[in-house]
Amino acid sequence: MTDWKIALYRPELTEAETTAVTEVMRSGWLSAGPVTRDFEARFAAALGVDDAVAVSNGTAALHLAVLALGLGPGDEVILPSLNFVSTAAVVSLCGATPVFAEVRGEHDLCVDPADVAARITPRTRALVVVHYGGYAAELPALAALARRHGLALVEDSAHAPVTPTPHGVLGTVGDIGCYSFFATKNLAMGEGGAVVARDPAVRERIRRLRSHALTVGAQDRHRGGSSLYDVDALGLNYRPTEIACAIGRVQLDALPAAAQRRQEAVRAYRRALAGLPGLTLPFAGHRVEDSAHHLLPVVLPEGMDRERLQERLRAAGIQSGVHYPPTHLFTAYRTRLGLGPGSLPITESVTRRQLSLPLHTGIGPAEVEQVAEAVTAAWQPTR
């Protein structure tokens, strides 16, 4: 983190997190327990839902969603290729087939509802919607598609914790919402995640599956309850730690102020980069207030050398990233699904040219200006 003059991401950790962790260490209870349960209640309240299930990471959240829906061999799940690989991985690991859909274009990096509709078959069981970078996908159209075809709608809200929009808080609109609290996320536990579900029975199934589907939990046994238990389903150990959830409670309290600072940084970026010829700022037409702003993506013009631009930024001490290489072109998915270059031309065009610039809670106007000046100095689009 300290090697960069301006890092792509920098966690904001205070004495409050240190105190919270120390209290857990002194309690003697380290695995999921009362702190975890309190974090779940607080997170659910922030989302405006009845309850939430905290888990060990965002991938676990997605895996539990797929398991709870009973997806498996013969089933198809439509999802965007422009996302981290974990979403497609959990679908594949359950024996179902990921069907990759296009994004809307360089101005909107979320999945295209029209392309999703064209890929629905009699084998389709679910749609996974990714709120890329913290920006809402077109939920009304996607929810209508899901209802029309009797499909489950899963929101991959790894980039968008507690994000209100005109169509609802992200992750709470579909049947199941999945969140990530990885070290680089807006709400950062180091590792962690959460799941919410519209159907309480589905949510409680997820809660059971998170801990081997045991009929009696560790806390109940510790309190002197029955030491005997049954296992009536195939579950996993996806429990979070008390340490992570203690950090999560502090981060959750700080999230509204942190969101404001991210919004201010994005406004500054939009002003500073508006005049660069050929540069696209995705989601520039969206209201700043309607996004979690997990990423600050830009799309370069065709023919521009992204690696050279990144080298120029690196020389100036500025870190950048690519979010993400398209999942359908990874070896595991090319060989499994018979895909290759040209399968998703819009996604492939965008991902060749996408670049993420530094964005985090601590970035201020002066740093934004330095990044914009470095990008401008390195700007050599093909003419």
List active site positions.
Answer: 185
The structure tokens listed for 215 are 């009929």
Give the gyration radius of the chain's Cα atoms.
Answer: 21
* Per-residue tokens: 9: 């991401």
Query: What secondary structure, in 3-state letters, does the chain show?
Result: CCCCCECCCCCCCCHHHHHHHHHHHHHCCCECCHHHHHHHHHHHHHHCCCCCEEECCHHHHHHHHHHHCCCCCCCEEEEECCCCCHHHHHHHHCCCEEEEECEEECCEEEECHHHHHHCCCCCEEEEEEECHHHCCCCHHHHHHHHHHHCCEEEEECCCCCCCCCCCCCCCCCCCEEEEECECCCCCCCECCEEEEECCHHHHHHHHHHCECCECCCHHHHHCCCCCCCCECCCCCECCCEHHHHHHHHHHHHHHHHHHHHHHHHHHHHHHHHCCCCCCECCCCCCCHHHCCCCCEEEECCCCCCHHHHHHHHHHCCECCECCCCCHHHCHHHHHHHCCCCCCCHHHHHHHHHEEEECCCCCCCHHHHHHHHHHHHHCCCCCC
Check if the beta carbon of residue 229 is closer than 8 Å to that of residue 215: yes
Query: What is the rounded CA–CA span in Å between residue 369 and residue 318?
Result: 12
Strand-pair category, 76-80 with 97-101: parallel
Cα–Cα distance for residue pair 200/51, rounded to 1 Å: 9
* Beta carbons of 91 and 101 less than 8 angstroms apart: no
